[in-house]
A and B are shown apart, each in its own frame.
Chain A
Amino acid sequence: MAIGVIRETERRPLPFDKLGVIIAALALYGAFLAPFATFRANRIVQGEGKAILEALPPSLGYGLLAVVMFGAIVAVLRTSVLVRMAAAFVALVALCFLVGRAAGSLAPADNAYARVSPASGFWVLVLAFALLVADALTRLNPGPGLRLLFLAGALALIGAMLATGQWDGLSILKEYASRAETFWAEAGRHLTLALGSLAVATAFGLPLGILCHRVDRLRAAVLNVLNAIQTIPSIALFGILIAPLGWVATHVPGAQAIGVRGIGVAPAFVALFLYSLLPVVANTVVGLAGVPRAANDAARGLGMTEGQRLVRVEFPLAFPVILAGIRIVLVQNIGLATIAALIGGGGFGVFVFQGIGQTAMDLVLLGAVPTVLLAFMAAIVLDALIEVTGPKHSRGKAA
């Protein structure tokens, strides 16, 4: 009995939220112990960290501290999910808005060389409240439509911040301003590489997957070859393709006219295509194999031809699994397209590797942040699509 009594007291819920304690600790560290913004006299010198009250005018500084403290208290106490979400949202908006203001108040507008960038304190605060949002979202468990709405809202907010010039004083946007045209050209190239290779891989991979599903002996061979391709590191595969494509460009008439070159976009495109094939083919095979025998028998009983059965029964049933393969490819391609810059293929990697070369970290961010955002968006959108098309009970990837 004694054991039972002890257990009872142990089970009583704590007055505090455990995750909230961690979030609050992070928030307090970020607000009081770490620098909020970094000020540098020019682009590549070592910067000096400024705390919130140094970086912002007093009214805004104390205001931000109050918002952060409020958010931390909401996180620690066992509050309702919606309250937590709202507090985190307010804190995030305040942080994003004020980091732009910090740039304005630290560097005079007429000083073209001075750079202000968000420092560790800012990032820790963003992390803390992003965790709070993620936790609230996980507990709310919103459906696909609502998730897309949240995404659209977040993007609209970022867009508004950019459009109204709130962040113009930040160094990452100064890097952008001095190369806006290149930025959009590389963005276009990045998307062409990632989406184009996905489209071609789907066009080839689907029939190949269907073929592999039907012909047992082909399946193992094709999947083994595609698996082997995945083990080749991306920069090597990009490099290896330079030679054959260079040969094609010089020996096949018309190849150059459609943009085939040894160096540049072509080898990157082909490499991404090769990497994309495995998830598409493998998931097509798995999806088709998972079609219940009863469904196929029923279709045969109705007198459907092979083609009809494929289009009307097998394919719709396998579609969510195939879509999951496409999600893997898209997220992977958006990341891998960064490497294309190393072989002159363009894309956001241009800024990443240029920045690494010049030790200009803002330039690295200019390449890395859009890449991460794109991958993140692609994942959310496709996850929602998979859920909408899939059976009701299969929710999420985990388990």
Chain B
Amino acid sequence: MPSLPTLLRLAVFLVLLAFLLQPGLFEPLFEPLVQENAPAVYNRGSLFWLTLLHLRTVLVATLAATVVAVSLAILVTREVGAEFLPLSRSLVNIGQTFPPVAVLALSVPIFGFGEKPTLIALFLYGLLPIFENALTGLTTLPLAVIEAARGAGMTERQRLLQIELPLALPVILTGIRLSVVISLATATIGSTVAAKTLGEVIIAGLQSNNLAFVLQGGLIVAALAVLIHDMLQALERTLAGRTHA
């Protein structure tokens, strides 16, 4: 018997799916929010398609950020890169004070309008939480385990792949989760530089003074964020349970 929160999430997912595939069904719900003759449901493109594009942007940026951030974290926690460890910590702290909008705005002069500056901004901004968590994960491993692995005659490579990374995985996943949630919201701002994301719906609403559009764009992103957040959290718990068992 699934628990109440699970059922709730399932319900949110089904409503979201229904709205994306058959937005017309929800028209009566949004009608009170718009002025007469204004469309109550976003009509300048397919919401489903925009959602997919939104998710694709976030996915690509997060995957790239994960690969780079985890590699960098591995590098600075090895002997070769140990010199960079303190600096990389302060750089992460500095980097996180950069507002996402500023990162986006500053990447426009370099990469032009459209998808690219959004991807770059999401990538750069997504790096930080993942790197920070990967660093935490890799530097707070139980010493006894590492010693045991060394005693068992494992090479450094084997230790990394078979012991350190699996043990750090739940913490790294937490970083990825934080990064994804930030990216999902930040991607909407990408529409101000002409990227195809759900921000388009919100901005169209702001420009034509159509509250229903704003609400639709906002709620889809919020629902996506909540669902993806919970999914990743469940995954973390499963993984953490496995490694601790």
Q: How many residues of A contact B (CB 8 A)?
A: 50
CB pair B221 A398 closer than 8 Å:
no
> Could you tell me which residues of chain B, from 210 to 227, have a CB within 8 Å of some CB in chain A?
211, 214-215, 217-219, 221-222, 225-226
CB pair A375 B97 closer than 8 Å:
yes
**How far apart are the CA atoms of A315 and B99 in the complex, in Å?**
31
CB pair B98 A372 closer than 8 Å:
yes
Main secondary structure of the interface of A (DSSP, over half): helix
Q: A231-B222, A233-B221, A236-B218 are in contact. Are A134 and B98 (CB under 8 A)?
A: no
A228 proximity list for chain B (CB < 8 A): 222, 226
A234 proximity list for chain B (CB < 8 A): 185, 188-189
Q: Which of B99, B140, B184 is within 8 Å of A372, CB to CB? A: B99
Interface string of B88-126 (1 = CB under 8 A from A): 011111101111111001101100010000000000000
**Shortest CB distance A238–B (Å):** 8
CB pair A335 B188 closer than 8 Å:
no
CB pair A239 B102 closer than 8 Å:
no
A135 proximity list for chain B (CB < 8 A): 86-87
B206 within 8 A of A: yes
A376 proximity list for chain B (CB < 8 A): 94, 97
A398 proximity list for chain B (CB < 8 A): 89, 92-93, 132, 135-136
Interface string of A352-379 (1 = CB under 8 A from B): 1101100101001101100110011011
A157-165, A283-291, A336-344: which lies at the interface: A336-344
Q: Which of B193, B199, B218 is within 8 Å of A356, CB to CB? A: B193
**How far apart are the CA atoms of A240 and B216 in the complex, in Å?**
10
CB pair A399 B181 closer than 8 Å:
no
**How far apart are the CA atoms of A232 and B220 in the complex, in Å?**
9
Q: Which of B93, B136, B203, B217 is within 8 Å of A342, CB to CB? A: B203
B96 proximity list for chain A (CB < 8 A): 331
Main secondary structure of the interface of B (DSSP, over half): helix
Interface centre among B90, B102, B184 (most CB of A within 10 A): B102
CB pair B90 A397 closer than 8 Å:
no
CB pair B87 A239 closer than 8 Å:
no
**How far apart are the CA atoms of A395 and B191 in the complex, in Å?**
39
Interface string of B50-81 (1 = CB under 8 A from A): 00000000000000000000000000000001
**How far apart are the CA atoms of A337 and B120 in the complex, in Å?**
22
A17 within 8 A of B: yes
B136 proximity list for chain A (CB < 8 A): 398-399
A397 proximity list for chain B (CB < 8 A): 93
CB pair A364 B109 closer than 8 Å:
yes
A131 proximity list for chain B (CB < 8 A): 87
B211 proximity list for chain A (CB < 8 A): 239-240, 242-243
CB pair B188 A233 closer than 8 Å:
yes
> Could you tell me which residues of chain A, from 36 to 54, have a CB within 8 Å of some CB in chain B?
none
CB pair A335 B206 closer than 8 Å:
no
Q: Which of B93, B99, B202 is within 8 Å of A334, CB to CB? A: B99
Q: A228-B222, A361-B109, A375-B97 are in contact. Are A18 and B185 (CB under 8 A)?
A: no
Closest residue of chain B to A136 (Cβ to Cβ) is: B87
Q: A17-B83, A134-B91 are in contact. Are A335 and B132 (CB under 8 A)?
A: no
CB pair A233 B206 closer than 8 Å:
no
> Could you tell me which residues of chain A, from 142 to 162, have a CB within 8 Å of some CB in chain B?
none
Q: Which of A134, A236, A364 is within 8 Å of B105, CB to CB? A: A364
A138 within 8 A of B: yes
CB pair B93 A338 closer than 8 Å:
no
Interface string of A129-142 (1 = CB under 8 A from B): 00100110111000
A298 within 8 A of B: no
CB pair A233 B94 closer than 8 Å:
no
Closest residue of chain B to A383 (Cβ to Cβ) is: B93
**Interface of B with A (CB < 8 Å)?**
33, 81, 83-84, 86-87, 89-94, 96-102, 105-106, 108-109, 113, 132, 135-136, 139-140, 181, 184-186, 188-189, 192-193, 198-199, 202-203, 205-206, 211, 214-215, 217-219, 221-222, 225-226, 229
A/B interface sample: 20 pairs, CB < 8 A: A18-B84, A134-B87, A138-B87, A231-B184, A231-B185, A231-B222, A231-B225, A232-B218, A233-B185, A233-B188, A234-B185, A236-B202, A239-B215, A331-B96, A371-B99, A375-B97, A379-B94, A396-B93, A398-B93, A399-B136
Q: Which 7 A-B pairs have the closest CB atoms?
A: A335-B99, A236-B218, A239-B214, A231-B225, A233-B185, A361-B109, A233-B188
Given contacts A19-B87, A236-B214, A236-B215, 14 further A-B contacts (CB under 8 A): A18-B81, A18-B83, A231-B181, A231-B184, A232-B185, A233-B186, A233-B189, A233-B199, A242-B211, A335-B99, A338-B101, A364-B109, A365-B109, A372-B97
